[in-house]
Every structure is written in C-alpha cells, then in structure tokens.
Structure 1
Amino acid sequence: MFDKNRYITRGVKEEIGLDIQILIWSYIDALKKRKDINVDYLQVFELNTINRNDIFNQKLVHKQELAPYEKLYLLNVEEPVNKKVYVIDEGDYSTMLLAEEY
C-alpha cells in the first residue's frame, strides 16, 4: 500500500507547501515500516497553525480510522496552514488531496 506512483491535486499544489507535502509522504512511509499497525487505505492529516509558540508554527495530526492510529507533530514550516488533507491509496497509485476536493 502507498508503494506506487504518487500524485497531488491542484488544491494541494496551490495551498500546501512543498515542505509539508514531503513530510506527509514521509510520515506515511514511516507508518508502513511499523510492524504493529495495519496501514489503512485512507490517511488523514489535520493541519492547524500555532500562533502562541516561538519554536513551532504548525500542528499536524496524522490519523487513520481502521487499525486506529493517531500521532501529533509540531513543526516549523515556511507557510503554516489550516487544512485537512487526505491521502488515498488506490492500488496502482496514491493521491494527496484537500478534504474539500473529496
């Protein structure tokens, strides 16, 4: 799962920084390596800006429903955003899209 071609939608390209896109793919890759979790075809990333912190400016929560999983990341990125991003594995390819594009 999540091993073949990877695509992003126009919305992701326009609204999510490349640094965050790369991190999202890397978090999925890290999850795949874990032996204790079955990776769901739908990965959810909730992105929220942090305004009251001098070190971090982006909160990212990575989760899935089947084989429940949730992990919080605090990041310092160039352009923090408030968005929900889905990454869906379709077998032959995976697509990263904004929740509103679903």
Structure 2
Amino acid sequence: KVSGQLDYLQVFEIVTEVKGQKKFLHIYHMQECPEAKLEYFIPTDVEVNGRAYMIDDVDHITLLLAEEY
C-alpha cells in the first residue's frame, strides 16, 4: 500500500486478463523509494498491454508510454 510519501517515479504495468467471460485491465502500480506495490483490476472491453511511467519533478507531472521513455 502506498500511503504518504510517493517516489518521483511511478511505474504502471498494464495487462489485459480474461477471467471467465469477463475482460479486466490488471494494473500493477510500483515505486522504488519507499518501496510499494499496488494492484488494480478494472473491467474493460478493450485490450491494452504495456507499461507507462509517471514522473513528478515538482513543477510538472509527465506520463510516458514505455516506448517514449
């Protein structure tokens, strides 16, 4: 669980999973310092697989796909 302090770099691994007849986005949210990991399952009709990085430099927050990093 992430509570309080957030790292300047947040990583989101997104994978589409099928459970029964339902599709879900399985989102792994990770940071290194302090170490934390969260998982989310969101119902979806689309397929998304990839990684995104969120960088907070205090003045701006930037969200990039892995291929843009």
Pairwise TM-score range, normalised by the shorter structure = 0.7 to 0.9
What count of residue pairs does the alignment treat as equivalent?
Answer: 68
The alignment's TM-score, normalised by the length of structure 1, stands at 0.59
Q: CA deviation at 1:56?
A: 4.2
CA distance in 2, matches of 1:57, 1:78: 8
User: Could you tell me the TM-score, scaled by structure 2's length?
Assistant: 0.83
Query: What percent identity do the matched residue pairs reach?
Result: 37
What per-residue deviation string (whole Å, max 9, x for no partner) do you get for residues 13-36 of structure 1? xxxxxxxxxxxxxxxxxx5xx33x
Please give the residue correspondences for 1:10-25 in structure 2 after superposition, counting only pairs within 5 Å.
Answer: none
Cα distance in 1, alignment partners of residues 38 and 20 from structure 2: 19
Alpha-carbon shift at residue 52 of structure 1 (Å)? 3.6
| Gaps in structure 1 of 5+ consecutive residues | 1-30
- Give the CA RMSD over aligned residues: 1.6
Aligned to 1:87: 54
Structure having the higher helix fraction is 1
Unaligned stretches of 5+ residues in structure 2: none
